[in-house]
Structure 1
Amino acid sequence: MAHKNSAGVLLFRRTSGHDVEVLLGHMGGPFWARKDLGAWSIPKGEYEPESEDARTAAGREFAEELGLPVPHGEWIPLGEVSYGSGKGKKSVTFWAVEGDLDPADIVPGTFELEWPPHSGTITEFPEIDRAAWFDLATARDKLIVGQRPCPDRLAQHLAL
């Protein structure tokens, strides 16, 4: 299997106290159900570089995962992160966009998985089972390891 390319959008907002919060999604499905730290993700997904550019893919994947479009705002490049190894190696290009949305309005996309394993039963699960706003320090702990540089890059860009 070839190297996978993904793209995503880290939505952020400023609170009344001028703190910065980011929107993360808790990964859906049975593998993540009882996990919290390291089980959250920035809305993102795969794309084929030959047929779609990374920014277009990032917007499409945000909408697919959350059921809502990326709010209007400046797209701030956060660069690329790579994680995983072997067949699971991924490169993810991220942008940050300032905006707000209510996690209660999210209608997540779904995926199918044979569950329980080897049962022959295909079950549909949400791509994310909930979304929430977190301050940057908390977001670093909640994010899967490979995405943890993103809050720091956002903080650098905002000169926090």
Structure 2
Amino acid sequence: MPLVSAALLLHHGRGADAHVLVAHMGGPFWARKQERAWSLPKGLVEPGEDVETAARREFAEELGVPPPDGPAVDLGTFRYTSGKVVHVLAVEVPAALVGSPDDPACPDLTTRPGISTAQVEWPPRSGRRIDVPEVDRAAWFPVEQARPLLVVGQQPVLDALLAATTT
């Protein structure tokens, strides 16, 4: 049985005008990469935890700030080719959040206290382990600009968001 992760996708605007908040994966492997190096803030659903609670917890752990309040819309469950399963919830926020003091976007998340880290072997096959931030920055992008940045398994999430927000 695959492990299930939960993700929270913040967005503002609707349909073709939608912008999404995505996070760049941290660590030296991803440092110079852009395409396929961004992800939704996500993480494993703990035993007995509901998906929304897990998604909101993981958002706060990875970005260092709590997610904005607001109703979450279920965009569905997405299976990666690796077998990993991610359940995605979307929260619409006002466009005025962007650039405000409460904006979760940040050009350098390593300056925020309390962000989650992971241990990786670096350089590969060296036996040396280092702690790196799970994500190192977060930014808003129009949906079509975000598409090539996201890991392949998360790209269908954007189509689900567009379908859910087209009026």
1:66 aligned partner: 63
2:92 to 82, 91, 98: 98
Q: Determine if the alignment matches structure 1 residue 10 to structure 2 residue 4.
A: no
Question: What's the TM-score once normalised by structure 2's chain length?
Answer: 0.83
Between structures 1 and 2, the one with greater strand share: 1
In structure 1, the residue matched to 2:161 is 154
Cα distance in 2 for partners of 1:35, 1:116 equals: 16
Rounded to whole Å, the distance in 1 between the matches of 2:60 and 2:81 is: 25
Q: Name the CA shift for 1:19/1:32 in 2 (closer, same or farther; >3 Å).
A: same
For these two proteins, the number of residue pairs brought into alignment is 153
TM-score (norm 1): 0.86
TM-fit CA distance, 1:19: 2.4
SS in 2 for 1:142: coil
1:10-54 CA distances to partner (integer Å, 9 max, x unpaired)?
Answer: 011239xx9221000011112212211111101001123x42111
**1:138 counterpart = 2:145:** yes
Q: Determine the C-alpha separation between the residues in 2 that align with 1:62 and 1:80.
A: 17
C-alpha distance in 1 between matches for 2:126 and 2:154: 33
Gaps of 5+ in 2: 98-102
Q: How many Å apart are 1:70 and its aligned residue?
A: 1.2
Partner-residue secondary structure (3-state), 1:31: coil
Query: Percent identity at matched positions?
Result: 48
Aligned Cα RMSD in Å? Answer: 2.0
